[in-house]
Amino acid sequence: NAGVMQNPRHLVRRRGQEARLRCSPVKGHSHVYWYRQLPEEGLKFMVYLQKENIIDESGMPKERFSAEFPKEGPSILRIQQVVRGDSAAYFCASSPGQVFEAFFGQGTRLTVV
Amino acid sequence: QQQVKQSPQSLIVQKGGISIINCAYENTAFDYFPWYQQFPGKGPALLIAIRPDVSEKKEGRFTISFNKSAKQFSLHIMDSQPGDSATYFCAAKGNTPLVFGKGTRLSVIA
């Protein structure tokens, strides 16, 4: 009965490289949410996806960031040409539907050097 | 524009005491108010949640009080223990994804 699985747990990238963060939701959950957390800050919503569809991306920067949740496989948050300001913890959550509780993964801590 | 305002930022409570964390919201479309607990290096874990049709919900030592007219809700931790030391986040949602407060770092000292 696995919860939300995120990998890698820690990721180090040099400025200008690409970062790929993966999230496998709870089995049977078709809704995935990505949040970003900076030190001493709350979680900031980035994007909400259902299988093969982006429902709400209002919190995601327009450039360099993209997300997908394919029919098969995990959800991917992709950050191109990373900059130091992208360093943060990125959390994924899943739910069986929009009105249900969301369960969070352990996060991926991205460090850009 | 912060949709959910949380206070205090940090809190120190004696073991056995009551920890109280407050949140206020603006959006009257919010209809679900959860609290999450986060330990260092871990993801947020759902602690307790309330919907606006009730004014209070209790689960063990944790109680949510909800005041719809004031648009405020609070978390009370009774008989606080050192193991409760963590960061607590209030959140709210309507037909949008969860919006979080900035968090309260709770330290329970013996």
Check if B96 contacts A (Cβ < 8 Å).
Answer: yes
- Residue A32, beta-bridge partner list: A49, A94
- Inter-chain CB proximity A56 and B99 less than 8 Å: no
Burial of B80 (0-12, 13-18, 19+ CB in 10 A): buried
List, for residues A78-104, the tens digit of each pLDDT value: 999 999 999 999 999 999 887 778 899
Residues of A in contact with B5 (CB under 8 A): none
Nearest CA in chain B to A10: B41
State the Cα angle at A41 between A39 and A44, rounded to 5°: 115
Spatial distance between the Cα atoms of B15 and A42, rounded to a whole number of angstroms: 26
Residue-averaged pLDDT of chain A: 94
Q: What is the pLDDT of residue A41?
A: 80
Q: Is the minimum CB–CB distance between B48 and chain A shorter than 8 Å?
A: no
Give B18-52 pLDDT, tens digit per residue. 999 999 999 999 999 999 999 999 999 999 999 99
